Amino acid sequence: MAAELHLHLEGSVPAADLGLEPYQYTGFSGFLQCFKSVVQCLNTPEDYARITRALLRELGHAGIDYAEVTLSAGVVLWKGQDLRAVFEAIRDASAGANILWHMDAVRQFGPSAAMQVARIAAGYAGAGVVSFGIGGDEKTGPAEWFQDVFRFARDRGLRLTAHAGESDGPGSIWQALEIGAERIGHGIRAIEDAALVSHLARHQIPLEVCLTSNVLTGVVASIEEHPARLLYLEGVPITLNTDDPAIFGTTLAREFQIAREGLGFTDAELEQVASNAYRFRF
């Protein structure tokens, strides 16, 4: 069995299930267009319930017995949809499954929009929603904008994460930590700052690493250049994740295979990486 901590619900939907052409893109901006094409097809709570049921089937086939799944809640609100109705449909569809939900705000939408997400997420703290965080464009939505939002969410019992150090450098990770992020989504550009690597290792702050995602979005040029093993060898706790498995054409088993064959992780090291997903779950 296995666990996964960085998995986007919307990115788990095969294009054919939505009547779309196969996903094709180049780089990070192209990926975002694919993601946008998915959310444009999700217009009712039942649409979200349907893709949740499909994801549960895939997790079962993959032998994943625990997952924290991200809902792009900021996008739901941006589209003018009822986030509470959407989440309750998702929660009902996943009843009985060993899944907890993460509500993500969109950095570039700003702190007011993020606070709307946090308020709704807080209403479901302990009732399906385990965490709150920020994703989107690190450069146009710096983490420091969201300090009050993170404090609000934390004070209401939500755990905190942030996508950082993916499309922007180590300064983005430092900012995320300063506002209270307990885990970092991606975070691989920490390797550019020795002091940050030491800090992550010393304080055992985990990085949710997504190998295939980082190659296909152009964050790294090739799997051989991915810094995941260097970070691991420096003592930084990492987990392996699929991110948006349908868009990136991957599975959790494949991510572990890539780590072994492309980065030289040993079986013993990968056992530790796998156990990290349980150790650092919320």
Q: Report, as residue numbers or ranges, the catalytic residues.
A: 166
Neighbours of 262 (CB within 10 A): 17
Give the Cα separation of 243 and 11 in Å (integer).
7
| Strand stretches in 148-216, DSSP E | 159-164, 183-186, 207-209
- Torsion sign over Cα 110, 111, 114, 116: negative
Cβ neighbours for 96, distance < 8 A, ≥ 6 positions apart: none
Q: Two tokens at 149?
A: 């939002």
Note the Cα 164 to chain centre separation in Å: 10
Helices (H), 179-266: 194-202, 211-216, 228-233, 245-248, 252-263
Euclidean distance between CA atoms 113 and 105, whole angstroms = 7
**Distance from C-alpha of 167 to C-alpha of 190, rounded to nearest angstrom:** 12
